[in-house]
Amino acid sequence: MLLQNKTAVIYGGGGAIGGAVARMFAREGAKVFVAGRSRQKLDEVVRLITDEGGVAEAAEVDALDEAALDAHANDVAKRAGRIDIALNAVGLRHVQGTPFAELSYSDFAHPIHAYMRTNFLTAKAVARHMRVQRRGVVLTLSTPGARMSGVGFLGYGVTCGAVETFSRILAGELGPSGIRVVCLRPDAIPEAIAVSHSRSVFEGAAERAGISVETMLDERARNGTLLGRFPTLADVASYAAFVASDRAAATTGAIANLTCGSVVD
């Protein structure tokens, strides 16, 4: 198994992406600690993992609270002996679909501030422990918005660009301590959109086009990606497990393009 005897912390572990990655990590042998605000969702992920024979624990943690994150990381490291992998899959509500002329500075700045805060604080919480063992992997999440231009996603697009830049530079900060940093950049994941608050972002565009969200995504996938489809949760989770493993030991400072070719680096 790719992650045998590894300890992984998944922030936002109750969400679609976080939960899928947590389950994949557990299947690959990792002991998984899922953290987030919704205990019910976290407990469901733990149940699914344990039903499959894996090992997982859940904790309610505010991923914007530095003291809470440090306390949780300390507890995980104390009980598990180490922290090998961390993924920030936190999702935060924000405004999309509003054109620049109508966009308030508050709505523009909110996702930038909030997503950068959680990525900075979670990385710092685990890196303190990874430095001691002189190895570890920090994974972040972005979207093609970091590379695209258009109407209605100015704040979130800048956010994704900031997360990718943060990840590249953080790799330089942590590399001398043996810690790798990789940013995962999937495009829209239909399974995740169906069960998350991000669906509302797509509903406005679909309504303006007079079609359903599902039809809109299908058309975008067929016409806007090289593979004619969008990534699945399994695609993202499988790649996360690989890049977090020792088989990807030479990979750091990378932005992993998991868009099925909607953008090409």
Give the largest Cα separation in the chain, rounded: 56
pLDDT, one tens digit per residue, over 223-259 is 999 999 999 999 999 999 999 999 999 999 999 999 9
Q: What is the pTM for the complete model shown?
A: 0.94
92: left (phi over 0), alpha (psi -120 to 50) or beta: beta
Task: Work out how many domains the chain is built from and give that number.
Answer: 1
Q: Does a structural domain hold residue 192? A: no
The enclosing domain of 107 has a CATH number of: 3.40.50.720
Q: Which pLDDT band holds residue 218 (cuts at 50, 70, 90)?
A: confident
Measured between alpha carbons, how far is 58 from 243 in angstroms, rounded to an integer?
23
Range of the domain at 146: 7-187+231-258
Structure confidence at residue 193 (pLDDT): 80
Looking at residue 206, what is its pLDDT?
Answer: 62
Q: Give a yes or no: residue 159 inside a domain.
A: yes
From CA 100, how far away is CA 79, in angstroms rounded?
48
Q: Does residue 50 lie within any of the structural domains?
A: yes
**Cβ burial 141-165 (10 Å sphere, 16+ → b, else e):** bbbbbbbeeeebbbbbbbbbbbbbe
Q: pLDDT (tens digit, 9 = 90+) per residue, 103-145? A: 999 999 999 999 999 999 999 999 999 999 999 999 999 999 9
| pLDDT per residue as tens digits for the range 87-105 | 999 998 888 888 999 999 9
- Which pLDDT value is given to residue 202? 65
Judge contact between 6 and 133, C-beta under 8 A. Answer: no
